[in-house]
Copies of this chain bind each other. A is one copy, B any other.
């Protein structure tokens, strides 16, 4: 025997049977929503060429991911999201009719400092629409995210929507110039609701913008509420440029569509939402579980019409949504929304004596053939010990078979919780088990 035990690396986890029961339940809910919204499941490669990962996020992405050289000296990295791979897949498939609606639910890796609700390997669901500039697609991915939350009965949430064209447009109108300066301002706005007012002012000044600019920006990005009210209260001077006006119109159209989708009630405009990452260029949104804002957005996304051009020889407009499985699980735990979930067999077939064991195996084989998860003793135990094991495994039904039962073509069936035993004919067992399991 080893003198020591082997652990999992920092930030990594095993999922045991109980954890997996929850994940399987949740994944099934999510996949089923994505499917009924007309998305097709794909899975991009887990290992990408490092240059593919850098193309989206710049060489600084190396600080946040697992990367390594393989034995042939190729620079590779583990995927850090699903969007990169899905986008790369689409750009190489001009044969597919558009829009292309694909989705995935898979794991990814990031070299974050492990902290509450953050692991170095985690899962996301992700749904993307490629090939249309229309707002229908933006409304669709928001509605899909909301349907996922509704499908697990998480109802106390809010979707905060804005538009990057509008945000960049008004910054330019205010006199912020230069791509880098705009990007810094966007990154700062992204923190507006996450840091204190003082910290926000400091950050804003640090990028060299004036106090007048800070005041005007704050005036805009503090606007939050029902779409019609927010859209009406944006001062005219901020929608004069082509860009900000376009963003304003997109927001207005999007909310009309969200109404058609029956999703207006939980959607607000929040002009501080910009999604830090550089590639968004239209509608952006983030959903928050009101009982769990501390873990961050429960889903988020937006339009990125330029990303495809980065990965290939054609431009394909795109919009999408993604959410973290681990964060959603925390919300479900907090709101006690997981049903009681167990894995394992529903029936445990016991043998009264050695001679009955072959018959037990046959009976188990029959039940399994009928789709009933079923198990039997594999340790040569006494009947008492067999029933104790069934009990410790929380198996709801035991079947008891001995020479007397075999002779008469019957079995005893016992509901473990109540200890109530009845006899049924062997050929009626499966039916009786199914009746009791309902």
Contact = CB atoms under 8 A, between A and B. Distances in A.
A292 interface: no
A38 B373 contact: yes
Contacts of A291: none
A268 to B, nearest CB: 20
Contacts of A45: 8-9, 12-14, 121
Contacts of A313: 1-5
Contacts of A392: 97
Interface stretch (A98-106, A187-195, A202-210): A98-106
Given A2-B309, A102-B17, A47 B261 contact: no
A37 interface: yes
B373 A36 contact: yes
Contact of A9 (B49, B92, B131): B49
A208 B37 CA distance: 66
Interface stretch (A66-74, A323-331, A423-431): A66-74
B41 A17 contact: yes
Nearest to A33: B368
A48 interface: yes
Contacts of A17: 40-42, 102
A16 B393 CA distance: 40
A51 interface: yes
Contact of A345 (B38, B92, B343, B376): B38
Contact of A42 (B16, B38, B372): B16
Nearest to A37: B368
B378 A136 contact: yes
Given A10-B74, A389-B97, A109 B343 contact: no
A142 to B, nearest CB: 13
Interface in A342-357: 343-345, 357
Nearest to A97: B392
Contacts of A46: 12, 107, 109, 121
B372 A6 contact: no
A42 B20 contact: yes
Contact of A372 (B36, B66, B257): B36
A35 interface: yes
A208 to B, nearest CB: 32
Interface in A87-146: 88-89, 91-93, 97-99, 101-102, 107, 109, 111, 120-121, 129, 131-132, 134, 136-137, 140, 143
B49 A7 contact: yes
A348 to B, nearest CB: 8
A132 to B, nearest CB: 5
A14 B98 contact: no
Interface string A253-268: 0000100111000000
A41 B20 contact: yes
A4 B15 CA distance: 40
13 contacts: A1-B312, A2-B310, A8-B45, A12-B45, A14-B45, A14-B85, A14-B88, A23-B43, A37-B368, A37-B374, A98-B379, A101-B375, A260-B365
